[in-house]
């Protein structure tokens, strides 16, 4: 059922004319009556709420659009964005479009009920991003997935730097053999992590002697160990493109009576919770998800309030990463 001014009037006790003036920005949103009317309009699902009320005078509704995968990183991501949204007096809803049959249609529907999107869609190609931009012209969108050329203003971790830091850590410890458990290369960040690791190794005069295709799962890490074990490769520095694969690798190695880091030194990526509590504690690349959420949401709020020109060329901001040294590399 469609909600109208009379319904809001009945719910708040204010006259229809007062409700109308508030929702047409003729009464300051700072007054008690306006605040109550605006709150009721939002909670009742008044269709013209976002068009009628100045963003300065109301709670902003933000959607985090993802392609959800069963990786612990997503729990960290959701938690940080939820907390930062709360701190900034925004509401956050999370929508997975991983299995969407018509992405443009789904996003168009969600846009009617939200002020802006944070998008984390790492498998999308430039064509798909451009289609979204065409469909939602001048709609506030910030991306947090790395891309070769940003279509939307993008805030993302410096994945290439993460791979390079891992390679430097192994080289500085005197390793001469190097391996990688890479993520799925259709995800741009996985390619960047691999490229940063490979380029740094090759620029130092070495080569990667073992390259395993993973999928970011614990099981992929276990399978990677069995692959390297069959090839009788030891005394090697292994960079895993996320912590789940790193821990899976270490788990399988310990089950097979191998020593970490004596037989295999391992560095992961993401610094998720179990990297700190798993034995041995995992050396990894730290990604500051709180900083990512802070910068992305700040920028989106400015876009919603029309403080950012939506017609200018998209810009990319890289958030630095850091090597956290623990016990899995000498």
Domains defined for the chain, CATH in brackets: 5-57 (no CATH), 60-157+289-320 (3.40.50.2300), 159-286 (3.40.50.2300)
Interval 294-310 mean pLDDT: 94
- Burial class of 137 by CB neighbour count within 10 A (0 to 12, 13 to 18, 19+): exposed
CA 324 to each of CA 45, 128, 169, 248, 269: distance values in angstroms, whole numbers, following the listed order = 46, 36, 10, 19, 10
Q: What is the pLDDT of residue 89?
A: 86
Q: Looking at the DSSP assignment, which residues form a beta bridge with residue 60?
A: 90
Q: What is the pLDDT of residue 17?
A: 84
Q: Which two tokens stand for residue 165?
A: 């830091």
Where is pLDDT greater, at 31 or 74? 74
Report pLDDT digits (tens) over 244-276. 999 999 999 999 999 999 999 999 999 988 888
Report pLDDT digits (tens) over 13-22. 888 888 777 7
Interval 116-143 mean pLDDT: 94
Closest CA to 229 of 212, 245, 241: 212
pTM value is 0.86
Q: How far apart are CA 93 and CA 103, in angstroms?
A: 17
Question: pLDDT grade, residue 283 (50/70/90)?
Answer: very high
Report pLDDT digits (tens) over 26-41. 665 567 777 787 778 7
């Amino acid at each position: 059922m469609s909600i109208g001014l009379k319904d809001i009037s009945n719910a708040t006790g204010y006259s229809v004319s007062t409700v109308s003036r508030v929702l047409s920005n003729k009464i300051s949103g700072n007054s008690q009556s306006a605040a109550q009317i605006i709150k009721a309009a939002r909670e009742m699902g008044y269709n013209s709420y976002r068009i009628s009320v100045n963003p300065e005078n109301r709670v902003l509704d933000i959607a985090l659009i993802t392609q959800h995968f069963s990786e612990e990183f997503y729990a960290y991501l959701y938690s940080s964005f939820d907390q930062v949204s709360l701190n900034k007096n925004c509401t956050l809803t999370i929508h997975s479009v991983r299995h969407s049959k018509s992405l443009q249609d789904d996003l168009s529907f969600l846009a009617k009920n939200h002020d802006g999107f944070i998008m984390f869609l790492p498998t999308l190609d430039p064509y798909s991003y451009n289609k979204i931009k065409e469909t939602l012209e001048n709609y506030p969108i910030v991306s947090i997935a790395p891309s070769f050329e940003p279509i939307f203003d993008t805030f993302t971790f410096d994945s290439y730097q993460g791979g390079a830091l891992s390679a430097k850590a192994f080289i500085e410890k005197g390793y001469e053999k190097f391996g990688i458990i890479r993520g799925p290369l259709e995800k741009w960040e996985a390619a960047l992590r691999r490229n940063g690791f490979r380029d740094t190794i090759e620029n130092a005069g070495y080569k990667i002697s073992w390259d395993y295709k993973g999928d970011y799962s614990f099981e992929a890490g276990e399978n990677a160990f069995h692959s390297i074990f069959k090839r009788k490769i030891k005394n090697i520095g292994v960079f895993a493109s996320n912590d789940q694969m790193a821990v899976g690798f270490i788990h399988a190695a310990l089950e097979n009576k191998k020593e970490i880091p004596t037989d295999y030194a391992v560095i992961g990526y993401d610094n998720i919770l179990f990297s700190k509590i798993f034995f041995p504690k995992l050396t990894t690349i730290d990604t500051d998800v709180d900083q990512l959420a802070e910068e992305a949401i700040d920028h989106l709020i400015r876009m919603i309030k029309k403080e950012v020109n939506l017609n200018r060329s998209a810009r990319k901001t890289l958030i630095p990463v850091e090597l956290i040294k623990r016990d899995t590399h000498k």
